[in-house]
Amino acid sequence: MILSIESSCDDSSIAITRISDKKLMFHKKISQELEHSQYGGVVPELAARLHVEALPRILEEAKEYFCNLKAVAVTNEPGLSVTLVEGITMGKAIAIALDIPLMAINHLKGHIYSLFVEKDVKFPLGALLVSGGHTQVLSVKGYKDIKVLASTLDDSFGESYDKVAKMMDLGYPGGPIVEKMAREGDENRFKFTVPLKHSSRLAFSCSGLKNQVRLKILSLKDITEQDKKDISASFQKIITEHILQKTRKLFKKHKFKYFAIVGGASSNLYLRQKVQDLCDEYETKLLLSDMEYCLDNAAMIGRASIEGYHIKDFVKIGAVPMNPRASIN
């Protein structure tokens, strides 16, 4: 079995995955949403301090599997440096104590493997990765063969939801809150413009739209609950239209047999439906992670690490690479 650890942002999570049949033997996650909600976003130092308490508590519960462990896998990048260090340090300590190899797993690769928790992989595939730190379309042919086809020029999809929620004092994380508000809003009330609409660039941009929303909110004196719902719906419509416009261009260029949405924001049902419609049009099969594996978790890191284990993709305990701004691969 492999013990995996995830601490790249504000979720402390540990999983135990059986190598032979990919079965998830143990999985627990402690989220810090409540602690960060009063700040409208993640406070890195606070997150690190909370990992120090949460990770050993979860590890204690996984003790019965220690005698079966063949390796330890830990998220090493990208993410917040102060929180990544907490998981890496724990991973190193376990690897030394049990004299087993250590693996460093890229967090974004983990999101891709969230599709295949307790399942076999389906490659090659195209993937839209939408999280708090990233908005990308990837071409995935294998564990070591992942290419970025398009990326954001500024803010990410998830972060834009977080900021729009913060502008209206709705709490954190903003994604699920704004999605819920949008369900009761009029998506045609506010006319925001679609980013990079007339540009042929295969790239994403969310900061201009965020600013349009900010200016609209400022122009509304005494903002009402209904105004907030209408802002949420109008924003969600346009940001999704932007993602779809660029993704459609990639569909035209690449004949995807499978296309996936991964990352925390892949739990958004509005986005799922729009991508499903695009896939139907191109006769592409849409792959989605189970809802419980969309947001950061250690099960996806454990699933990715099985692939790494088979090719002995181990790292030296004293030299775990850590680049908080790393891309994929």
Quick one: 29 or 216, whose CB is closer to ligand KG4? 29
In the complex, least distance from residue 71 CB atom to Zn ion, rounded to whole angstroms: 22
By a kind-dependent CB cut-off of 5 to 8 A, residue 232 interacts, out of ligand KG4, Zn ion, none, with none
**Six token digits for residue 107:** 């967090």
Quick one: 96 or 269, whose CB is closer to ligand KG4? 269
Rounded to 5 degrees, what are φ and ψ at 41? 175, 175
Q: Under rule CB under 6 A, which residues in 241-280 are in contact with ligand KG4?
A: 263-265, 267-268
By a kind-dependent CB cut-off of 5 to 8 A, residue 161 interacts, out of ligand KG4, Zn ion, none, with ligand KG4
Q: Under rule CB under 6 A, which residues in 64-123 are in contact with ligand KG4?
A: none
Quick one: 230 or 296, whose CB is closer to Zn ion? 296
Binding pattern to ligand KG4, positions 157-176, x when CB under 6 A?
-xx-xx----------xxxx
By a kind-dependent CB cut-off of 5 to 8 A, residue 174 interacts, out of Zn ion, ligand KG4, none, with ligand KG4
Quick one: 131 or 205, whose CB is closer to Zn ion? 131
**Six token digits for residue 188:** 């045609």
By a kind-dependent CB cut-off of 5 to 8 A, residue 295 interacts, out of ligand KG4, Zn ion, none, with ligand KG4
By a kind-dependent CB cut-off of 5 to 8 A, residue 158 interacts, out of ligand KG4, Zn ion, none, with ligand KG4
Residues 6+ apart with CB under 8 A from 175: 158, 161, 162, 165, 264, 265, 267, 268
Quick one: 42 or 315, whose CB is closer to Zn ion? 42
In the complex, least distance from residue 161 CB atom to ligand KG4, rounded to whole angstroms: 4
Check binding of 155 to ligand KG4 (CB under 6 A): no
Identify whether the C-beta of residue 76 lies closer than 8 Å to the C-beta of residue 84: yes
How far apart CA 206 and CA 212 sit, in angstroms, is 10
Identify whether the C-beta of residue 299 lies closer than 8 Å to the C-beta of residue 58: no
How far apart CA 286 and CA 280 sit, in angstroms, is 9
Residues 6+ apart with CB under 8 A from 101: 70, 71, 72, 95, 312, 314
Binding residue (CB under 6 A) for ligand KG4 from 6, 86, 179, 230: 179
Residue ranges binding Zn ion (CB under 5 A):
131, 296
In the complex, least distance from residue 310 CB atom to ligand KG4, rounded to whole angstroms: 26
Q: Under rule CB under 6 A, which residues in 2-31 are in contact with ligand KG4?
A: 9
By a kind-dependent CB cut-off of 5 to 8 A, residue 176 interacts, out of Zn ion, ligand KG4, none, with ligand KG4
In the complex, least distance from residue 144 CB atom to ligand KG4, rounded to whole angstroms: 21
Residues 6+ apart with CB under 8 A from 49: none
How far apart CA 57 and CA 37 sit, in angstroms, is 23
Identify whether the C-beta of residue 29 lies closer than 8 Å to the C-beta of residue 12: yes
Binding residues for ligand KG4 (CB under 6 A): 9, 131-133, 158-159, 161-162, 173-176, 179, 263-265, 267-268, 295-296
